[in-house]
Amino acid sequence: MSGCPVQLYGPEFQIDPGSLYEKMRAEHGPVVPVTMEGGVPAWLVVGYRELHHVLNSPGVFARSSRHWNAWDLVPENWPMLPMVMRRPTVLYSEGEEHRRRAGAVSDALAGTDLHELRATAARMADQLIDSFCATAGTDLRTSYTARLPALVLSWMYGLDDVRGDHLAEVMTTMIDGGPDAMVAQRSLMAAMGELVAERRARPGPDVVSRLLAHPAGYSDEEAVPELIVVLGGGNQPTAEWLGNALRLMFTDERFGASIAGARNSVQEALNEVLWEDTPTQIHAGRYALHDVELAGQTIRRGDLVLLGISGANRDPSVRSSGAKIGDLGSQAHLSFSHGPHQCPYPAREIAEIIAVTGVEVLVDRLPDIELAIPEDELRWRPSPWVRGVASLPVTFTPTTPQGAR
């Protein structure tokens, strides 16, 4: 690798990742040599056009980590291992196998009635708000933004509120990566296995049943990890999208009218977040199938290429090009990825409905809601991979829960 590699961990990602990407770009250009935790090497693509090229070139930059040349450098119990493990799911498959899986997942999600989804998201948002609205304040992250997407997605899987809430808690524990993460992962696998067996015996109008009935011909063993990937891939990014949009609306005077009920700027805030504070900052990854030059850097066969989505969205070469790409109202950001492995369109629709509904119901129910601490005291999650506030404390005038009226 050329130049001194950048350490892809540390407090700078919490404090000001935008400035860090600027520094990387100034020193290395749009393709940056980096080291992950444990000293594992990789390349981070922070150029918009370069990342667009990587995402659209599966014949050069493959998805499966079976091509990786650095497995011998991975430490035991490496915390990043879940991001690169080979799994038989839509995320890690290639070629015809990927097309089979991607078509099935997209069709299973597309069968969701969006009007019913919107009504269910509003009902669940009201239930969550009822749990804290009689107090004078709460941490919105733990009581609302981290729970709403998981509950709605669990409903899409055909689960009742109690089982959905349990699944949401287990998923959160697993993603947080603490001492109980592996126990939670096994619990999640077991719960999903039970659900698949139930739906195989008694199909219903839900995502699980539609996936099992799809002509792609999923076995139960294939369906369990696939459904967990879809649940996890929709849950955390949507939760951070909702939380980051609310943070923006609480702290930026341009969106003050939204709190008073102006709906248009809710969509504007959500779109701006996808440019400025996209929930997935960096995603792993792609693997070079042969030696290739990218933006002046020589990437060797088998090298890991990390997708610097946040850095690419902030690329000044497109942000300064006027309204065509750089305008914050534009949809040309890479937050939903691009190319064969981009987020399926039905999944984007579902995530947007959950996020928009989550914002609108909250500000309708608690119109004077505001941050309980100064903006500069907010802390971000300590991760280069995910962008989200560690907590979002708010205050508001207490109101009677709707369920008690």
- pLDDT at site 325: 46
Domain annotation covers residue 168: yes
Q: Dump pLDDT digits (tens) for 240-285.
A: 999 999 999 999 887 765 555 555 588 889 999 999 899 999 998 8
Domain annotation covers residue 92: yes
Q: Which of 81-95, 302-316, 322-336 has the lowest mean pLDDT?
A: 322-336
**Averaged pLDDT score across all residues of the chain:** 88
> Is pLDDT of 110 > 90?
yes
> Is pLDDT of 327 > 90?
no
- pLDDT at site 184: 82
Highest mean pLDDT, choosing among 17-21, 217-221, 328-332: 217-221
> Is pLDDT of 324 > 50?
no
Task: Indicate the number of domains in the chain.
Answer: 1
> Is pLDDT of 221 > 60?
yes
pLDDT over 90 for what percent of the chain?
A: 62
Domain annotation covers residue 378: yes
Domain annotation covers residue 352: yes
Mean pLDDT of all residues in 96-116: 96
Q: Dump pLDDT digits (tens) for 4-43.
A: 899 887 777 777 788 888 999 999 999 999 999 889 999 9
> What is the span of the domain harbouring residue 329?
6-404
Three-class HEC string of the chain: CCCCCEECCCCHHHHCHHHHHHHHHHHHCCEEEEEEHHHEEEEEECCHHHHHHHHCCCCCEECCHHHCCCHHHCCCCCCCHHHHCCCCCCCCCCHHHHHHHHHHHHHHHHCCCHHHHHHHHHHHHHHHHHCCCCCCEEEHHHHHHCCHHHHHHHHHCCCCHHHHHHHHHHHHHHHHCCCCHHHHHHHHHHHHHHHHHHHHHCCCCCHHHHHHHCCCCCCHHHHHHHHHHHHHHHHHHHHHHHHHHHHHHHHCHHHHHHHCCCCHHHHHHHHHHHHHCCCECCEEEEEECCCEEECCEEECCCCEEEECHHHHHCCHHHHCCCCCCCCCCCCCCCCCCCHHHCCCHHHHHHHHHHHHHHHHHHHHHCCCCEECCCHHHCCECCCCCECCECCCEEECCCCCCHHHC
pTM equals: 0.91
Domain annotation covers residue 1: no
Q: What is the CATH number of the domain that holds 393?
A: 1.10.630.10
Mean pLDDT of all residues in 368-382: 91
